[in-house]
Amino acid sequence: MVDVYLFSGFLGSGKTTLLKNMLIQVKEAGLKPAVFMNELGELAIDSDEVEDGVPLKELLDGCICCTGSEKSEAQIQTLLAEEEFDVLLIETTGAAHPVEALDAIFSPLFAEKLNFRGIVTVADSKRWLDRDRMSPQIRSLFLEQIRHADLILANKMDLLTDKEQGEVVFGIQALNSEARIVQTSGAKIPYKLMETLSTGPKESVETAEIGKLNLNTRVFRFAEPVKREVFEQWLRNLPETVYRIKGYVPLEGDKYPHAFQYAYGMAQWLPEYMKMQPQIVVIGEGIDGVELP
Ligand SMILES: Nc1nc2c(ncn2[C@@H]2O[C@H](COP(=O)(O)OP(=O)(O)OP(=O)(O)O)[C@@H](O)[C@H]2O)c(=O)[nH]1
């Protein structure tokens, strides 16, 4: 049986960071991992982060929970037919309800093959503190992802004071008293901690109504390089409802576009040593008016 873990958590909370950490540790434990990824938007950016040699399937521009679990089922079935592996790590989009995303895994097709171990939710601790500023639907999704977790990473602790850290852990514990909560920076946990999970099928869990999410994704392609100051000024002026940006930004004077990440007001630039497509995906609510600088 293949052990299956489902990574949940809001946009930009640190799921891919956790995935990368886990891939290293699973291999170190002498096990073979495989990955199933689900991205919002038509660009496969997170999958660039999974190193070659790890079996990977992805579902683009949709959500594991709402574009029909059949597609996900088919992808997982192909993965099982084509590859040999011991552990399947599933990264859902930040817009997925974790329990609804379980549908594909609990398909009768996989009853003898997949051993579901649990939902691991990565919570952006800074966002937790500011949760009252979210729109009601987004807030409800954010809380549901935490409420249904079997293990919770209170991530991005490096951005919080000691007092805030305590506040986050108490708050999260009050919302989900069953799950173990670990304070993390860079989503670092030992794989052994995930191995302690063994929840089995989730029977008749009550999920709260989230309402219609008005999350949109837009892809912008750069016609030419931009000045870094101009781009950063543009970021500062974005509406608060832009939750996530990722992709490759061509900067004036640099040979290759830089890998770029933006989540909750925090930008991260990484040098890229290959010529990646100069494009970014912007995810948020009411982003029709957003244009590149
Ligand atoms: N300061 C800080 N940044 C972090 C931490 N964990 C992750 N990040 C950064 O947060 C950004 C988003 O991290 P990802 O791992 O891509 O988040 P994600 O949940 O996979 O994002 P989506 O797939 O878009 O939902 C990246 O720039 C990470 O480097 C942390 O503990 N502290």
148 CB within 6 A, ligand 1: no
How far does the centroid of ligand 1 lie from the alpha carbon of residue 90, in Å?
Answer: 16
Task: Report the C-alpha gap between 220 and 234 in whole angstroms.
Answer: 14
247 CB within 6 A, ligand 1: no
Model pTM? 0.89
Which pLDDT does position 8 carry in this prediction? 95
pLDDT band at 101 (very low <50, low <70, confident <90, very high): confident
11 CB within 6 A, ligand 1: yes
CB-count burial class (<10 Å; 0-12, 13-18, 19+) for 196 = exposed
Which atom of ligand 1 lies at the shortest distance from residue 93's CA? Answer: 25
Which pLDDT does position 56 carry in this prediction? 82
94 CB within 6 A, ligand 1: yes
Give the pair of three-digit tokens for residue 211: 């309402």
Assigned CATH for 215-285:
3.30.1220.10
Examine the pLDDT at 153 and tell me if it is beyond 50: yes
Which CATH architecture best describes the domain 2-195?
3-Layer(aba) Sandwich (3.40)
217 CB within 6 A, ligand 1: no
pLDDT band at 193 (very low <50, low <70, confident <90, very high): very high
Residue 126 contacts residue 160 (beta carbons within 8 Å): yes
Which pLDDT does position 2 carry in this prediction? 95
100 CB within 6 A, ligand 1: no
Which pLDDT does position 217 carry in this prediction? 83
Query: What rounded mean pLDDT belongs to the chain?
Result: 88
Q: What is the 3-state secondary structure (H, E, C) of the chain?
A: CEEEEEEECCCCCCHHHHHHHHHHHHHHCCCCEEEEEECCCCCCCHHHHCCCCCCEEEECCCCCCCCCHHHHHHHHHHHHHHCCCCEEEEECCCCCCCCHHHCCCCCHHHCCCEEEEEEEEEEEHHHHHCHHHCCHHHHHHHHHHHHCCCEEEEECHHHCCHHHHHHHHHHHHHHCCCCEEEECCCCCCCHHHHHCCCCCCCCCCCCCCCCCCCEEEEEEECCCCECHHHHHHHHHCCCCCEEEEEEEECECCCCCCEEEEEECCEEEEECCCCCCCCEEEEEEECCCCCCCC
Residues 42-89 pLDDT 10s? 556 666 777 777 888 776 655 545 555 677 888 889 999 999 999 999
pLDDT band at 210 (very low <50, low <70, confident <90, very high): low
Domain ranges of the chain: 2-195, 215-285
Which pLDDT does position 60 carry in this prediction? 60
